[in-house]
Chain A
Amino acid sequence: MLRLEHIYWLAALLLGSAVVIDLRARRWAHAAFWLLLALMFAGGDAVLAAARTGQRLPQQAVGAGVVVLALLAAFGLRRDGPAARAGDRGDARPGHRLFLPALLIPVLTAGLVLAAPHLRWGDTPLLPREQVTLGALALACALSTVAALRVTRARAAAALRENHRLLDTIGWAAVLPMLLAALGNVFAATGVGEAVAQLVAAVIPVDNRIACLAAYALGMALFTAIMGNAFAAFPVLTGGIALPLLVGRHGADAAALGSLGMLAGYCGTLLTPMAANFNLVPAALLELSHPNAVIRAQVPTALALFAVNFVLMYLLVFR
């Protein structure tokens, strides 16, 4: 029933409404930025399908569009007042009822995910089979918007105005996570990971098991910090260092090593602006004056935890 494309179309509609508002305010660069993005969300699946049949031109156009997005973000978008101001408020004070639509998003999402196997229209499942959580999230967001409109007694257009206000507050930081994921793919396709693993393996004393373990743990944290994602670092460093040296040569326990190695990478995630969706987007969402404020708040936890995790690694891996 509900397919992943439909959810992308819904996002494209929200982005498109921001284009209209920006055009009216004569903020041309902002309008162009959200328009490009809206088009990519609306037509993305058609582009990917065309590429599978050998038509590469649309996909190359998207690639060029990504470059334009980056240029617009760096030179076109500025933070100016008018759109970022909050709308005027009614006199009605709905009190605790305001919490209801906000809590509806997570509770409905979780409920729909759990109920998904039973939700079907005849023989077809209601939510997309491969992306149940996203389907549930989209439905929950749509229903909670209706609930929020009822509770606040606002008109439907207000929902789109508020959506634009928040999008404008976050700005290009909203798109950075997608771009970083794309960079991860480019790095993987060009063999960056293998080059790093080879360099590391060439410099460590392979007969010393603590040196090997330290190289793996530090490598996971560092490479995760560079890529912004522990998932990208894991296969590279586990294949390059952990399996041949620690498991093969020093008899380490693979299950514990893999699990704790991934967690060493997570310590790196807490430290890097490359993990934009966890570190930079929240700084923009909370309107903090420094983009790295969240990272700064995480540094002591990350370093202490990395040390503890390393000791645990040593104790648990060479039992």
Chain B
Amino acid sequence: MNYWPLLGVLVVILGFALRLNPMLVVVAAGLASGIAAGLPPGDLLSLLGESFLSSRTLLLFVLTLPTIGLLERAGLREHAQAWVAGLRGLTLARLLVAYLALRQCLCMLGLVDLGGHAQTVRPLLAPMAEAAAQRGQPQLAAAQREEVKALAAATENVARFFGEDVFIAFGAVLLIQAFLARNGIVLEPLAIALWALPTAVAAFLIHATRLVLFQRRLRRDARPHAGAGADAAS
């Protein structure tokens, strides 16, 4: 067994720990692993080129950018914010928990492409979350504003990951089924998908609890802040 290719893993860990540019780290790791495995440079470049070209689908989200950009220029984010600001009962926690539940259910039905960071989080969910948080406390600190936006993106990820795995035609379920079948264990996709259900429920409960706690913390922080008065205005 040749353990030298593990050098690539070491490069990844060190590179991220030292906060080097991730693009550079990844290419360096690939080259390190390839050279350590004794691949000739020609083969290594060819492998890198082929793998890069075969994963082009990962950049196709750029097709959504013209639409999103045009709508943003016309004031989509401001409009979404104004709309949420007018809905009195819609708190930050309620908005994000509702998105979590809806998105998770849609992913379980296989409708993963109904949302995403470029399509829904940037133009709609993040500005709405900001507006909802702002109604609770008009003077939201810049750091808190960032936390709210990051939490909106995190909610999208949790909902997607722990929803799509329950859908039988999803890649992960088919991958598990194909791998087990190749090793002599033949199962129906449904028999695998159903086991993801308890964790999906747990994911919803844990993340929803965190959203409620986050809102409570925001409100608690708001009180001493309001007392400081002059400090908040700066």
Once the chains bind, are A70 and B26 in contact (CB under 8 Å)?
A: yes
What's the minimum C-beta distance from A48 to chain B, rounded to whole angstroms?
A: 6
What's the minimum C-beta distance from B217 to chain A, rounded to whole angstroms?
A: 12
In the complex, A181→B55 CA distance in Å?
A: 7
Contacts A86-B72, A89-B74 given: A226-B62 contact, CB under 8 Å?
Answer: no
| A293 at the B interface (CB under 8 A) | yes
What's the minimum C-beta distance from A306 to chain B, rounded to whole angstroms?
A: 10
Once the chains bind, are A186 and B60 in contact (CB under 8 Å)?
A: no
In the complex, A254→B188 CA distance in Å?
A: 12
Once the chains bind, are B53 and A273 in contact (CB under 8 Å)?
A: no
In the complex, A190→B33 CA distance in Å?
A: 7
Once the chains bind, are A263 and B162 in contact (CB under 8 Å)?
A: yes
| B63 at the A interface (CB under 8 A) | yes
In the complex, A105→B61 CA distance in Å?
A: 11
In the complex, A194→B37 CA distance in Å?
A: 13
Contacts A90-B74, A187-B5, A234-B175 given: A182-B30 contact, CB under 8 Å?
Answer: yes
Q: Which residues of A contact B206 (CB under 8 A)?
A: 301, 304-305, 308
In the complex, A152→B79 CA distance in Å?
A: 13
Interface segment, one of A20-28, A154-162, A207-215: A154-162
Among A149, A152, A190, A195, point to the contact of B34 (Cβ < 8 A).
A190
Q: Which residues of B contact A160 (CB under 8 A)?
A: 66
Once the chains bind, are A66 and B49 in contact (CB under 8 Å)?
A: yes
In the complex, A95→B114 CA distance in Å?
A: 22
Once the chains bind, are B165 and A165 in contact (CB under 8 Å)?
A: no
Once the chains bind, are B71 and A270 in contact (CB under 8 Å)?
A: no
| A134 at the B interface (CB under 8 A) | yes
Q: How large is the interface on B (under 10, 10 to 19, 20 to 34, 35 or more residues)?
A: 35 or more
State the majority secondary structure of interface residues on A.
helix
Once the chains bind, are A231 and B66 in contact (CB under 8 Å)?
A: no
Q: Which residues of A contact B36 (CB under 8 A)?
A: 190
Closest partner residue, chain A, to B194 (CB atom): A259
Among B118, B150, B151, B179, point to the contact of A258 (Cβ < 8 A).
B179
In the complex, A309→B183 CA distance in Å?
A: 25
Taking CB atoms and an 8 Å cut-off, the chain A residues in 232-289 that contact chain B are 234-235, 238-239, 243, 247, 254-256, 258-260, 262-263, 266, 269-270, 273-274, 276-283, 285-286, 288-289
Among A40, A98, A238, A308, point to the contact of B179 (Cβ < 8 A).
A238
Closest partner residue, chain A, to B183 (CB atom): A243
Q: Which residues of B contact A216 (CB under 8 A)?
A: none
Question: Closest 7 A-B residue pairs measured CB to CB?
Answer: A162-B69, A63-B45, A62-B49, A63-B49, A185-B51, A181-B55, A190-B37
Which residues of B are in contact with A by a Cβ distance under 8 Å?
1-3, 5-6, 8-9, 12-13, 16, 20-24, 26-27, 29-31, 33-34, 36-37, 39, 42, 44-60, 62-76, 79-80, 83, 111, 113-115, 117-124, 126, 146-147, 149-154, 156-158, 161-162, 165, 171-173, 175-176, 179-180, 183, 185, 187, 191-196, 198-199, 202-203, 206-207, 210
Which residues of A are in contact with B by a Cβ distance under 8 Å?
7-8, 10-11, 14-15, 37, 40-41, 44, 47-48, 51, 56, 58-67, 69-71, 73-74, 86-87, 89-90, 92-96, 98-99, 101-102, 104-107, 109-110, 113, 131, 133-134, 136-138, 141-142, 144-145, 147-149, 151-152, 154, 158-163, 165-167, 172, 174-187, 189-192, 194-196, 198-199, 226, 230-231, 234-235, 238-239, 243, 247, 254-256, 258-260, 262-263, 266, 269-270, 273-274, 276-283, 285-286, 288-290, 293-294, 296-298, 300-301, 304-305, 308-309, 312, 316
